[in-house]
Amino acid sequence: MIVPGGSGSVSMEELEWWVALNMVPGIGPVRYRRLLERFGSAKDVFQAKERDLALVDGIGPEMASAISGGLGLLDRAKREVEMAERKGIKIVVLHQDGYPKNLLGIFDPPPVLYVRGQILPSDELAIAVVGTRSATEYGRSVAERMGSELARRGITVISGLARGIDSAAHRGALSAQGRNLAVLACGVDLVYPPENRDLARRIAENGALISEFPLGTKPVKQNFPMRNRVISGLALGTVVVEAGDKSGALITAAFALDQGREVYAVPGNITSRMSKGTNGLIKRGAKLVDSVEDIVEDLSDLFKWIKVERPEEPIKRSEALILGILEEGPMHMDLLMERSGMGFGELSATLIGLQLKGLVRQMPGDLFSKV
């Protein structure tokens, strides 16, 4: 019997049967797993009698009929495997060597993964950084810095390649020459959004693009929640940087909680609608973070070989200006805006950058002081 999550390799024929079963409409990871547990292999599932298929929990007569009538999918699966090989895309199945170990710990791991790039054992030490597509300057700055600081500590950064926070986190990790995994809601041979084509290429060169969807799959709405559970499942914890009260990032956080993973949230401006989701998470018990050290220290048993000390970083001109002003002592944000000539967004981004570097701390009443 094939045991999902076991170790070993698969033959080309086995792989084709796995891919074919993954193509049955509506099969899903839970039904897929139950079928494997009952019949032992993807090939045996297709060769089972319809009445026996219907007896499997969650299958029923309609799905059993779809599986029995799906033998023709094998030809399509063969073409899929050949196309993946031509494009340099690896297909990994549940019991195969190279399947991400963190994913094996969730309730519904994808039975089949398409990988453009390379997943390494070190990618088990990973943190997801997610948030809204409609990010503010503050949110993008925080996400990029989080991605950079995580990567510089040898922690793999995981996100969804979306506009806004996701893209900023990926760029941050790349700027530190760190590992990056992007989980897609479409086939890995496609890029969504299209303007992230170059970013996707760079991620594949320094990590991997990952999807559970067959090649050519379009990024339709129902694929995104499925994508989100894989993002959180690959990570030891999920950081929500900026999110509205209906953001998809909150779905990722909910999956992380269900999967027994940590959830972190970066606090935001209480007047910004893009901070309602993150501030709400903190109210409901998510761990407030304003630096990567908060995460490293919280997961110290797992991160024990990572240096907690903050690495040296060059000071930007805007940051030097604020540090100079704060030499006079603690100062209110409004006065900082007046003295520096910065707008609210630029000042917020500069202050969070200084906080993440450990050079400035926020005090009650919107006061900031130099550390």
What order do you get walking across the sheet with 207-211 strand by strand? 90-93, 112-117, 207-211, 180-183, 156-159, 126-130, 237-240, 262-265, 287-288
Task: Specify the pLDDT at position 268.
Answer: 84
d(CA 328, CA 340): 13
Structure tokens at 19: 């891919």
- The yes-or-no answer to whether 121-298 and 317-370 have a common fold is no
Q: Which fold has domain 317-370?
A: Arc Repressor Mutant, subunit A (1.10.10)
Q: Which CATH number does 12-83 carry?
A: 1.10.150.20
Q: Which residues pair with 114 in a beta bridge?
A: 91, 211
| pLDDT bracket for residue 312 (50, 70, 90) | low
Q: Is the pLDDT of residue 71 over 80?
A: no
- Predicted confidence at residue 344, as pLDDT, reads 85
67-81, 130-144, 203-217, 296-310: lowest mean pLDDT where? 296-310
**DSSP tag of 208:** E
The pLDDT tens digits of the residues spanning 28-68 come to 999 999 999 999 889 999 999 999 999 999 999 998 998 88
Find out whether 164 and 274 touch, Cβ atoms under 8 Å: no
Contacts 24+ apart (CB under 8 A), 68-73: 70/20, 70/21, 70/23, 70/24, 70/46, 71/46, 73/20, 73/21, 73/23, 73/24
Of the ranges 207-216, 270-279, 303-312, 328-337, which one carries the lowest mean pLDDT score? 303-312
For 341-352, write each residue's pLDDT tens digit.
998 888 888 888
- Residue 297: is its pLDDT beyond 50? yes
Q: Which CATH class is domain 121-298?
A: alpha beta
Segment 158-183 mean pLDDT:
95
Pairing of strands 180-183, 156-159: parallel
Report the distance separating Cα 134 and Cα 2, nearest Å.
44
Q: How far apart are CA 46 and CA 15, in angstroms?
A: 14
Tokens 């929640």 sit at which residue?
A: 225
Residue 8: pLDDT band (50, 70, 90) is: low
What is the pLDDT at residue 310? Answer: 45
Higher per-residue confidence, 307 vs 325: 325
* 160: confidence class by pLDDT, cuts 50, 70, 90: very high
pLDDT in tens, 258-292: 999 999 999 988 878 888 889 889 988 889 998 88
Domain ranges of the chain: 12-83, 121-298, 317-370
Q: What is the pTM of this model?
A: 0.80
Residue closest to 224 by CA, chosen among 236, 211, 235, 233: 211
